[in-house]
Amino acid sequence: MNREVEVEVLVARAGLTDLYGKILKGERLSYEDGLRLYQTLDLTAVGALANHVRERMNGCATYYVRNLHINYTNICNKLCKFCSFYAKPGDPRGYVLTADNIIARLDEYRHQAIREIHMVAGINPKLPYEYYLDILTAVRTARPDAQIKAFTMIELAQIARVAKKPLADVLEDLKDAGLTCCPGGGAEVFSERVHEELFRAKLDNEGWFEVSREVHRAGLKSNATLLYGHIETVEEKVKHLLHIRELQDETKGFQCFVPLAFDPARTELEHIPLTTGQQNLREIAIARLLLDNFPHIKAFWIMITPQVAQLALWYGADDLDGTVNHYEITHALGTTSDHQVLNHQELLHLVNEAGRVPVERDALYNVMVAA
Ligand code: V47
């Protein structure tokens, strides 16, 4: 049996032939289709559909990046119930990295090729506008060879607040100081119910969209995320994905979608069980199928393990993030150290072992050609 017939048989057995027909014709999947993808027991069939789209869009390529995450402060006044990273203002565990601290951190990696510096943090009301410009300038000066992907939509709203300037002007300043693009964090789940229950102090859903629109209008690309595996419903997840798809139709400014598996360790929601590998693969597959206008779907190995990230490359993901090096927001299962790293060889090995073709990228998905 050839592969196409195999997929046909698989999806027929799962009762998804009509969805396969739509996908083959390049037709958009609906809200109801999204619900069915969550409800069907046959994950292999959902994965085969997602893999079809993945290969149509990106072939066998798996993009990966040599990156470094920097969390410049853990002080945050948003008190999100799903977060274990933050320290309330006044908490002795709170820290702020100065520009010099950041330069010293970068110096630790001076012998490593780094293409992308991913810089995000808590919402620390004490930080003045100049701080954000200074840390961008410091990073750009210390590592002119790397691009800076920094500040979620929530942070940008805060930066504009302290700048007392329109966001459009602030974005121009940030670009001048070195900002290349923005990450996708802080979106969580676009549901008023979940917003109210888990992150009520944070910018609301409409606010996230407004800031994204402004970012894209400024010519900056950004990512989008979904935090799943806590109190959200399947209906809320499908609405979240379709909402993002609509915004992408409007702005075309998103590069990549990143499903984020909730890690309950040390949060107020510690009673919630960990997501399973099965669930993680399903979220990636459904994102690939519903977000037909997103060029890339990312597997972030820190949250789903390197092994499940390898499988994800056959369930819709075409992007594997990354060498990471240092990450404080969550910890790979069973670990507590912030030193979380896959070196370049390990990343290449993971992709090759999974039967995909590794393609090194920068923060804007330009392909890096080996020197
Ligand atoms: O905004 C917080 C989430 C995000 C937890 O854009 C948690 O390329 C799981 O957005 N369990 C930050 N998730 C990470 C993020 C990200 C990561 C990698 C790549 C990209 C990208 C973006 O992590 C936060 C929040 O949504 N988060 N706490 C937790 N306990």
Domain definitions of the chain by residue range: 54-69+181-370
CA dist 109 and 90 (Å) reads 31
Reduced to 3 states, what is the DSSP secondary structure of residue 118?
Answer: strand
> What is the number of alpha carbons within 13 Å of residue 61 lying toward its C-beta?
15
pLDDT-based confidence at residue 331 (cuts at 50, 70, 90): confident
CA dist 113 and 366 (Å) reads 16
CA dist 287 and 282 (Å) reads 8
What pLDDT is recorded for position 327?
83
**Poorest-confidence range of 49-63, 278-292, 314-328?**
314-328
Q: Closest ligand 1 atom, CA of 224?
A: 6
List, for residues 58-85, the tens digit of each pLDDT value.
999 999 999 999 999 999 999 999 999 9
* Cα end-to-end span (Å), the chain: 42
What is the distance of C-alpha 354 from the center of its chain?
21
Q: What is the pTM of this model?
A: 0.96
Gap from CA of 4 to ligand 1 centroid (Å):
36
Among protein residues, the one whose CA lies closest to atom 14 of ligand 1: 185
Gap from CA of 83 to ligand 1 centroid (Å):
9
Greater pLDDT, 176 or 1: 176
- Residue 334's CB is within 10 A of a number of other CB atoms, namely 7
Maximum alpha-carbon separation in the chain? 65
Q: Which of 85, 202, 211, 227 to mutate to test the pocket of ligand 1 (most atoms within 8 A of CB)?
A: 227
Among protein residues, the one whose CA lies closest to atom 28 of ligand 1: 83
What pLDDT is recorded for position 33?
98
CA distances from 64 to 256, 290, 309, 368 (A): 12, 23, 12, 10
pLDDT-based confidence at residue 4 (cuts at 50, 70, 90): confident
CA dist 268 and 201 (Å) reads 15
Q: Who's near 327: CB < 8 A, 6+ residues apart? A: 69, 71, 302, 338, 340
Gap from CA of 157 to ligand 1 centroid (Å):
18
Among protein residues, the one whose CA lies closest to atom 23 of ligand 1: 185
Nearest Cα to 86, choosing from 342, 328, 371, 355? 328
Among protein residues, the one whose CA lies closest to atom 13 of ligand 1: 262
What pLDDT is recorded for position 328?
80
Q: Which of 225, 304, 361 to mutate to test the pocket of ligand 1 (most atoms within 8 A of CB)?
A: 225
Q: Closest ligand 1 atom, CA of 264?
A: 30
Q: Which of 329, 335, 364 to mutate to test the pocket of ligand 1 (most atoms within 8 A of CB)?
A: 329
Among protein residues, the one whose CA lies closest to atom 21 of ligand 1: 183
Ligand 1 binding site (Cβ under 6 Å of any ligand atom): 82-84, 152, 183-186, 188, 223, 225, 227, 258, 260, 262-263, 267, 298, 300, 321, 329-330
Q: Who's near 73: CB < 8 A, 6+ residues apart? A: 94, 95, 96, 97, 121, 122, 124, 127
Among protein residues, the one whose CA lies closest to atom 24 of ligand 1: 185
Question: What is the CATH T-level fold of the domain 54-69+181-370, as seen in this structure?
Answer: TIM Barrel (3.20.20)
CA dist 33 and 37 (Å) reads 6
pLDDT exceeding 70 applies to what percent of the chain?
Answer: 99
Output the six-digit token pair for 367: 């392909």
Q: What is the CA radius of gyration of the chain?
A: 20
Output the six-digit token pair for 348: 């290449």
What pLDDT is recorded for position 89?
93
Is pLDDT at 191 greater than 90 in this prediction? Answer: yes
Q: Who's near 92: CB < 8 A, 6+ residues apart? A: none
Reduced to 3 states, what is the DSSP secondary structure of residue 228?
Answer: strand
Is pLDDT at 371 greater than 60 in this prediction? Answer: no
**Average pLDDT across the chain, whole number:** 95
| N residues, the chain | 371
- Residue 205's CB is within 10 A of a number of other CB atoms, namely 18
Among protein residues, the one whose CA lies closest to atom 16 of ligand 1: 185
What DSSP state is assigned to residue 274? P
CA distances from 249 to 26, 112, 243, 244, 253 (A): 15, 38, 10, 9, 9
Q: Which of 260, 283, 327 to mutate to test the pocket of ligand 1 (most atoms within 8 A of CB)?
A: 260
